[in-house]
């Protein structure tokens, strides 16, 4: 397919009139064709008007029709074949195998949401039938279901060109909820975005979904992005990126006459706790596992293990020694963009120049442009507790080991941490008591706690939580990965004393959708939805 460099506003391809955005091969520094001219306020207006016009029809599509639409998007993406993988490889420098895996995850995610939509549990139907004879007062008939919030603005992420971009988790969960979506493409992969955007647009057409259900716009975050978030018809925002970008969008959303939720996933250093027995008994394996997780994808994962916490002593010294040995064989990998590479170098320099930290291990020296040399630093708990800058996320393959003099100091360090997406516990049986005593604090700090694994690699499933307290995300009550992500884009509506004929199908007395309702305080038995 020939890339056009145009935006997609509903079913129309539209040329932008602002500064050109060009994909760049980060491995060679070569600019890629075509240029994507950014959109203006007028394009935001067109996309929002179409999205608003689509809302009421789209949100009442049947569960099976919406499921088919999501599945069709997955099929259309798969149908792009090698062209998508080739373009994404050129625009991101990510290895082909990683992108094949990411495409599979993206399509699996869409299919998971199709199943979720069909099962209908997300409608969370609650019925409290009328009790006309109740004393001292009768009770009305009350019925509740969830409805979509309205059009959602999604900001594509730089580090997941497929799974967190145009048809990624935010888009899939918003569409599943019944929300039209307007995606602002990430400037790092405009061609990949166009290919996927066209696949979604084809699915819209094939499934006879209103065209305003999906638009794809290009442009600067500060101009077009803020205009999108500020538009009165946008009712929620999905974002993955920097803390400053997320905060800017939250501020814009709060400054509106009608403030709206922003689900921003921003910054996490994903502490790994090496408990004493595990560290003593499994030093080499822990060092191997840590280095593999740290350097995966040049460390450009929101779940990258950027902090290690352990008791000081010979076992930790041995661990650091093994990490150093292992890391020196680790080749520098190309980072996603020149900006991400400079931000990484600035973060590493700040640590290198901080007298409270010392460098303990480094990977191979960076060769080509935008390459990431891995680094591990060490600090003491007392310094970590004093200097808040040591908690800053360095996006890339860098990590800081905090040496603690006692269990009490470990507890202090954990208590001092900002909110996290994950916390990892490397433990053996003899560590269980200490782990149990730390759990209440760890639960307050992170969205996902994992034992004897590594935080990178996020399963897309029903039980996943990819979220956590600020600054990991802007709303710790939710997840951006897994089927529960749909809940971000819903709100409850209660219908009181409605005649059955006026009720939405989900709430009708005869339960035509076969939903598992909470009926008069009792959960009904499981029955399959349509």
Q: Contact residues for ligand NAP (CB under 6 A)?
A: 155, 157-159, 184, 186-187, 220-222, 225-226, 240-242, 245, 248-249, 265-268, 302, 340, 343, 395
Residue 304 Cβ vs ligand NAP, minimum distance, rounded to whole Å = 8
Specify whether the CB–CB gap between 212 and 61 falls below 8 A.
no
3-state SS, residue 416? helix
Q: Which of 102, 194, 265, 409 is catalytic?
A: 265
Residue 239 Cβ vs ligand NAP, minimum distance, rounded to whole Å = 6
Q: Which of 302, 341, 372, 404 is catalytic?
A: 302
Q: Is 372 designated active site?
A: no
Residue at token pair 């638009």: 215
Residues 6+ apart with CB under 8 A from 353: none
Residues 6+ apart with CB under 8 A from 497: 130, 140, 141
Specify whether the CB–CB gap between 334 and 193 falls below 8 A.
no
Residue at token pair 């029809």: 57
Closer to ligand NAP by Cβ: residue 101 or 338: 338
Closer to ligand NAP by Cβ: residue 37 or 155: 155
Closer to ligand NAP by Cβ: residue 47 or 157: 157
Residues 6+ apart with CB under 8 A from 42: none
Closer to ligand NAP by Cβ: residue 169 or 178: 169
Strands (E) across 38-176 are located at 126-128, 142-148, 152-155
3-state SS, residue 156? coil
Residue 131 is inside which H or E element, if any?
none
Q: Is 302 designated active site?
A: yes
Residue 267 Cβ vs ligand NAP, minimum distance, rounded to whole Å = 5
Residue 396 Cβ vs ligand NAP, minimum distance, rounded to whole Å = 8
In the structure encoding, which two tokens stand for residue 53, read together?
């016009």
Closer to ligand NAP by Cβ: residue 5 or 67: 5
Residue 232 Cβ vs ligand NAP, minimum distance, rounded to whole Å = 18
Cis peptide before 136 (omega within 30 of 0): yes
The Cα 177–Cα 172 span in angstroms is 9
Helices (H) and strands (E) in the chain, counts: 15, 25
Q: Measured at CB, which residue is nearest to ligand NAP?
A: 221
Residue 65 CB-half CA count within 13 A:
14
Residue 166 Cβ vs ligand NAP, minimum distance, rounded to whole Å = 12
Closer to ligand NAP by Cβ: residue 39 or 67: 39
Neighbouring CB atoms inside 10 A of 96's CB total: 12
List, by residue number, the catalytic residues.
265, 302
């Amino acid at each position: 397919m020939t890339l056009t460099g145009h935006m997609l506003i509903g079913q129309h391809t539209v040329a932008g009139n602002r500064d050109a955005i060009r994909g760049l091969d980060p491995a060679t520094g070569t600019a890629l064709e075509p240029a994507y001219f950014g959109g203006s306020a007028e394009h935001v207006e067109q996309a929002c008007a179409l999205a608003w016009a689509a809302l009421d029809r789209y949100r009442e599509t049947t569960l099976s029709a919406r499921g088919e639409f999501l599945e069709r998007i997955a099929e259309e993406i798969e149908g792009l074949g090698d062209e998508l993988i080739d373009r994404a490889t050129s625009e991101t420098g990510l290895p082909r195998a990683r992108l094949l895996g990411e495409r599979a995850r993206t399509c699996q995610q869409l299919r998971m949401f199709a199943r979720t939509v069909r099962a209908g549990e997300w409608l969370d139907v609650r019925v409290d039938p009328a009790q006309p004879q109740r004393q001292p007062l009768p009770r009305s008939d009350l019925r509740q279901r969830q409805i979509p919030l309205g059009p959602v603005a999604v900001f594509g992420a730089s580090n997941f060109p497929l799974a967190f971009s145009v048809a990624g988790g935010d888009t899939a969960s918003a569409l599943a909820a019944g929300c039209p979506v307007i995606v602002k493409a990430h400037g790092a992969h405009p061609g990949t975005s166009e290919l996927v955007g066209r696949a979604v647009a084809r699915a819209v057409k094939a499934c006879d979904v209103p065209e305003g259900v999906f638009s794809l716009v290009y442009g600067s975050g500060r101009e077009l992005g803020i205009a999108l978030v500020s538009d009165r018809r946008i009712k929620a925002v999905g974002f993955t990126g920097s803390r400053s970008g997320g905060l800017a969008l939250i501020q814009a959303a709060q400054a509106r006459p009608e403030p709206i939720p922003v689900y921003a996933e921003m910054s996490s250093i994903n502490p790994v706790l090496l408990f004493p027995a595990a560290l003593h008994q499994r030093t080499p394996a822990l060092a191997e596992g840590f280095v593999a997780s740290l350097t995966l994808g040049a460390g450009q994962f929101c779940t990258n293990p950027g902090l290690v916490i352990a008791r000081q002593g010979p076992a930790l010294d041995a661990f650091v020694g093994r990490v150093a040995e292992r890391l020196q064989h680790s080749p520098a990998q190309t980072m996603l963009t020149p900006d991400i590479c400079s931000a990484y170098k600035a973060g590493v320099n700040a640590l290198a120049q901080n007298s409270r930290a010392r460098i303990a291990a480094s990977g191979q020296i960076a060769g080509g442009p935008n390459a990431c040399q891995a680094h591990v630093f060490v600090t003491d708990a007392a310094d970590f507790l004093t200097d808040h800058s040591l908690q800053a996320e360095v996006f890339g393959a860098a990590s800081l080991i905090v040496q603690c003099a006692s269990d009490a100091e470990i507890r202090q360090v954990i208590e001092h941490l900002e909110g996290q997406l994950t916390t990892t516990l490397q433990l053996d049986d003899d560590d269980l008591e200490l782990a149990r005593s730390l759990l209440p604090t760890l639960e307050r700090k992170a969205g996902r706690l994992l034992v004897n694994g590594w935080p990178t690699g996020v399963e897309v499933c029903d039980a996943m939580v990819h979220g956590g307290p600020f600054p990991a995300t802007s709303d710790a009550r939710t997840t951006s990965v897994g089927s529960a992500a749909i809940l971000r884009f819903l709100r409850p509506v209660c219908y009181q004393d409605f005649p059955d004929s006026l009720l939405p199908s989900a709430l009708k007395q005869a339960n035509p959708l076969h939903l598992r309702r909470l009926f008069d305080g009792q959960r009904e038995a499981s029955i399959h939805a349509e």
